[in-house]
């Protein structure tokens, strides 16, 4: 985006936002000193959303505000005055992706079929957030059905929320499916946000919008109350402006839940005080594998990646080139797994939560009946393929699931880590943001997060730099339950580079 096409938002021109780029620790320090309270902070974010999301650059990141947000903030302030502070998230406004149940708001997955659906209770992770003292500010837009409706979908578009826009260049795409959560954090609409990922839906929008995104190990964060795609790969995770905030947010939402059997696999000490592990010297002596990737050869990415690797080495890391021995071999199996698990899991969830539509066939019929609103740009071929798929006892599904996990995990990431005795793998998260088009699908540059997604392993995207003013991310990947080490390495890298630059809002004109 050329400098002549940049135009600051009205609010920025008249008065800087007082909490621009504020982090949890800084805000808590101001609250402890009596200089700030949660109601004031919540009101400030609500005004900013009104001025920049609903008007001005019209980012369309937020689909619904919590009508009880100010009341929740006032309750947290009263607790603080009484000497009761629940923890580092006390009084912090948080936004949630609109596929996570949180009363009294709707939970739509971006679909008009669920527009009137108000779940009767909170998702488990929302219960955890409220127990930690967070204020639920509202819901964020997403690629409809978490981008599992059509192969020709435009990331960040839903019938409920419209098209979320990239705050660095309004005609560019924000990536998805957690588009609204990423844009909201980048644009300073909340302290932090929660996204969900099946394959790239946290890490890609985090990179594209210049923020931190952590996809945890499947089973570290409960999926109870989250509209599903795949029980093998789905997880929620933090989307923040700093690694330190991601560590604090992960500590609040992680934990065992009887409603999600995947959390039973969690090692006894998998939930840490992640913040206690953050050290600026964590890269000294670390062994890091730089994955060979076509992304690294792109002229807009290669020089930025070279600077990142130089920074890692200057901090004492040993960086060696490596590769995943099974790269790409799981892709067809992954689609088979997703189609079968979506067919089985979505109706079960809709029925348990008493949604207005409870079958995949019913959703397909709804979209056909409301095609002008639901399918103006692309169809629902993934829905139709899932409806035609077999059941979970289908040998094709069982074989695909076993193959995909093995090829991406033990024979992929684990094999690469073991071969060179590595602490983590790194690669460009994805390319730069592409121009948003409708009906043609995304001009997707590719991503490095697929192996971790399919294996159910963690991945962390941290701002790496910019190309022509558009953010790039560096992805850290490790084996299962390696979040403490990835956060440690990502934090040290972040402190070295300070690569995040907040957006000035573009005019949207080429």
How far, in Å, CA of 496 to CA of 494, rounded?
Answer: 5
Contact 59, 167 (CB under 8 A): yes
Q: Which residues are catalytic?
A: 97, 177, 201
Helices 243-253 + 483-497 axis angle, to 10? 160
Q: Among residues 405, 407, 392, which one has the least CA distance to residue 342? A: 392
Look at the block and give the residue holding tokens 């066939």. Answer: 361
How far, in Å, CA of 390 to CA of 290, rounded?
Answer: 39
Instruction: Look up residue 89 and give its two tokens.
Output: 């998230």
Name the helix (H) or strand (E) containing 64: strand 62-65
Q: Among residues 471, 407, 425, 404, which one has the least CA distance to residue 292? A: 425
Contact 122, 58 (CB under 8 A): no
For 204-223, give the DSSP string: HHHHHTTSEEEEPPTTSS--
How far, in Å, CA of 46 to CA of 75, rounded?
Answer: 17
Contact 279, 309 (CB under 8 A): no
How far, in Å, CA of 96 to CA of 238, rounded?
Answer: 10
Question: Is residue 104 reached through a cis peptide bond, with omega within 30 degrees of 0 on the bond before it?
Answer: yes
Phi, psi of 479 (to 5 degrees): -80, 175
Bridge-partner residues for 97, per DSSP?
A: 140
Contact 130, 113 (CB under 8 A): no
Q: What is the CA radius of gyration of the chain?
A: 21
Contact 432, 300 (CB under 8 A): yes
How far, in Å, CA of 104 to CA of 65, rounded?
Answer: 10
What does the H/E/C string look like for 152-201? CCCCCEECCCEECCCCCCCCECCCCCCHHHHHHHHCCCCCEEEEEECCCC
Q: Among residues 243, 94, 96, 177, which one has the least CA distance to residue 382? A: 177
Q: Are strands 135-140 and 93-97 parallel, antiparallel or unpaired?
A: parallel
Look at the block and give the residue holding tokens 């409806």. Answer: 387
Name the helix (H) or strand (E) containing 240: strand 235-240
CA distances 88 to 94, 244, 279, 452, Å, are 13, 11, 19, 29
Contact 99, 196 (CB under 8 A): yes
């Amino acid at each position: 985006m050329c400098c002549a096409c940049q135009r600051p938002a009205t609010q920025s021109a008249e008065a800087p936002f007082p909490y621009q780029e504020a982090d949890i620790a800084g805000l808590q320090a101001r609250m402890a000193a009596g200089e700030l309270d949660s109601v004031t902070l919540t009101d400030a974010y609500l005004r900013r959303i009104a001025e920049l999301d609903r008007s001005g650059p019209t980012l369309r990141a937020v689909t619904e505000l919590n009508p009880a947000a100010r009341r929740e903030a006032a309750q947290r302030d009263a607790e603080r005055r009484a000497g009761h502070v629940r923890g580092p998230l006390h009084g912090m406004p948080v936004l949630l992706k609109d596929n996570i149940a949180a009363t009294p708001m709707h939970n739509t997955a971006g679909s008009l079929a669920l527009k009137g659906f108000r779940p009767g209770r909170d998702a488990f992770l929302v219960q955890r957030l409220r127990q930690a003292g967070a204020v639920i500010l509202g819901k964020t837009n997403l690629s409809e059905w978490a981008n599992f409706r059509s192969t020709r979908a435009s990331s960040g578009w839903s019938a409920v929320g419209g098209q979320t826009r990239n705050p660095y260049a309004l005609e560019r795409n924000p990536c998805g499916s957690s588009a609204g959560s990423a844009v909201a954090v980048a644009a300073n609409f909340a302290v932090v946000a929660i996204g969900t990922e099946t394959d790239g839906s946290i890490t890609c929008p985090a990179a594209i919008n210049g923020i931190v995104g952590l996809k945890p190990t499947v089973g570290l964060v409960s999926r109870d109350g989250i509209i599903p795609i795949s029980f093998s790969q789905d997880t929620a995770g933090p989307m923040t402006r700093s690694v330190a905030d991601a560590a604090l947010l992960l500590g609040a939402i992680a934990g065992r839940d009887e409603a999600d059997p995947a959390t039973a696999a969690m090692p006894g000490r998998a939930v840490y005080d992640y913040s206690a592990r953050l050290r600026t010297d964590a890269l000294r002596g670390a062994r890091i594998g730089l994955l060979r990737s076509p992304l690294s050869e792109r002229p807009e990415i290669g020089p930025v990646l070279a600077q990142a690797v130089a920074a890692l080495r200057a901090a004492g890391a040993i960086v060696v080139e490596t590769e995943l021995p099974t790269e790409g071999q799981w892709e067809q199996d992954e689609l088979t797994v997703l189609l079968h698990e979506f067919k089985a899991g979505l109706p079960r969830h809709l029925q348990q939560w008493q949604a207005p539509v409870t079958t995949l066939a019913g959703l397909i019929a709804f979209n056909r009946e409301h095609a002008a609103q639901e399918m103006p740009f692309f169809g629902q071929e993934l829905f139709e393929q899932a409806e035609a798929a077999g059941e979970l006892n289908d040998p094709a599904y069982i074989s695909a699931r076993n193959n995909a996990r093995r090829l991406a995990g033990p024979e992929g990431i684990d094999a690469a880590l073991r071969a060179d005795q590595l602490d983590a793998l790194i690669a460009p998260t994805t390319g730069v943001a592409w121009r948003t088009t409708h009906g043609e699908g995304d001009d997707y540059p590719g991503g490095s997060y697929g192996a971790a997604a399919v294996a159910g392993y963690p991945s962390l995207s941290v701002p790496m730099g910019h190309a022509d003013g558009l953010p790039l991310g560096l992805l850290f990947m490790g084996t299962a339950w390696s979040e403490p080490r990835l956060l440690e390495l990502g934090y040290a890298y972040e402190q070295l580079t300070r690569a995040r630059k907040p957006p000035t809002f573009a005019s949207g004109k080429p």
